[in-house]
Amino acid sequence: MTYLFTSESVSEGHPDKIADQISDAILDAMLKQDPASRVACETMVTTGLAVIAGEVTTKAYVEIPDVVRETIDKIGYNKEDYYFAAHSCGVQVALHSQSPDIAQGVNVGEGVDKEQGAGDQGMMFGYATTETEDYMPMALAFSHGLVKRLAEIRKHEPELIGYLRPDAKAQVTIEYNEDNTPLRVHTIVVSTQHDEFPGVSDDEALAQIAEDVKKHVIPTVIPAELIDANTIFHINPTGKFVIGGPHGDAGLTGRKIIVDTYGGKGAHGGGAFSGKDPSKVDRSAAYASRHIAKNLVAAGIADEALVQVAYAIGVSHPVSLNVTTYGTAKVDLTDAEISKKIEEIFDMRPKAIVDRLGLTNPIFAPTAAYGHMGQKPYKKEVEVEVKDIVESNGQKVTTTKLENKEVEFFTWEKLDYVDKIKSAFGI
């Protein structure tokens, strides 16, 4: 008997994702000046207002309101009709320094074992599957693709669909057979915010939106062979969707953790990512766990893998690491034996993760929309602040200058451990 599985995604203009992007833009701005910045930045957005709160310890000086407005403008909230616009919304900032009680367990030389300890207790998960070429669950990959395509059209191809506004959501249901193989797309749900349609009835407007989405959005994301005569489409099923974004719903950092990860597949430890520097294992260890799971599956050890790691606050070594292959292992080893080998290959101490994945670089803003997992790794030059000590009139003076530095984004998506895993498993 077949079964159904559903995942959803939301666009960069969704209020919760606006909050995530602001938090990560602030984090990046601090890391550009001070890679050792400790940041826990939360954002709330609502009608005409963005509130920034949290704990920050950094040598950087950042004009927070400027970063907030630049982020909002980049997303596309730049019209007063949206009741939330980059040039006019209020920005309130309430940031204070990180607790020294936490810092003593995280700073190198101060923790229980004098190494950089975990910034908190908790468990983190990484997941991978052979369902798609990016080793992501199919329903989530398609959902991300639909909302991302809407944003691309809105920003770069308005001649295709000229009435799109920034807020949007998508949901895809996949039908599987009994051996967990995807068969077809069962249902597609797309809800997109739109301009008013003057002089046009609501029914006519909705018919136009449905036609445009089916013509310009869905075919570019979902292969035609997975859609059949029985596929169900719900396009703006509630009807008119003019009021949206922060005016329609308040947005908060960290409220889309399933969208950010695996769409409900695998598991989630509960910790959000955006606005957190990499000393917070909620973020860094979740990335490292995805890195393990993806390389494990790509190496042919299993068709599906879930990696769990857990920490105690202030302690560098994880308290546990576990791999689950759901019975799909291709090697003659138990999951416990696979877990033991993975422990020997990957150093999961917080500092080792940060070094391995380059997480002190300002690489986080792009993660805050369309998923932290499953995006393709790439390199790009970014402007960073470099400090130097020079001698002037017999005195040592610290100078600051801006330099371009090439950094890697989405390093946890690299398949750079496949050969090491194959060698360790003798395949």
Binding site for K(+), by residue number, is: 42
How many other C-beta atoms can be found within 10 angstroms of the C-beta atom of residue 182? 17
Nearest 5°: the CA angle 130, 131, 134 is: 70
Dist CA 379 CA 362 (whole Å): 12
Distance of alpha carbon 378 from alpha carbon 58, whole angstroms: 27
Q: Which residues are annotated as a binding site for Mg(2+)?
A: 16
The catalytic residue positions are: 14, 16-17, 42, 55, 169, 241, 249-250, 255-256, 276, 280, 282
3-state secondary structure 116-147: CCECCCEEEEEEEECCCCCCCCHHHHHHHHHH
SS3 221: helix
Q: Which of 225, 78, 252 is nearest to 155 (CA)?
A: 78
Q: What is the amino acid identity at position 113?
A: D
Task: Give the span between the Cα atoms of 284 and 282, in whole angstroms.
Answer: 6
Strand partners, 123: 310
Residues 67, 85: contact at Cβ < 8 Å?
no
- Which residues are known binding-site members for ATP? 14, 167-169, 240-241, 249, 255-256, 272, 276
Query: Cα separation of 73 and 321, whole Å?
Result: 42
Q: Name the CA dihedral angle for 132, 192, 150, 209, rounded to a multiple of 10 degrees.
A: 110
d(CA 253, CA 382): 25
Annotated binding site: 14, 16, 42, 55, 98, 167-169, 240-241, 249, 255-256, 272, 276, 280
Residue listed under structure tokens 């598991």: 267
Residue type at 191? S
Distance CA 148, CA 371 (A): 10
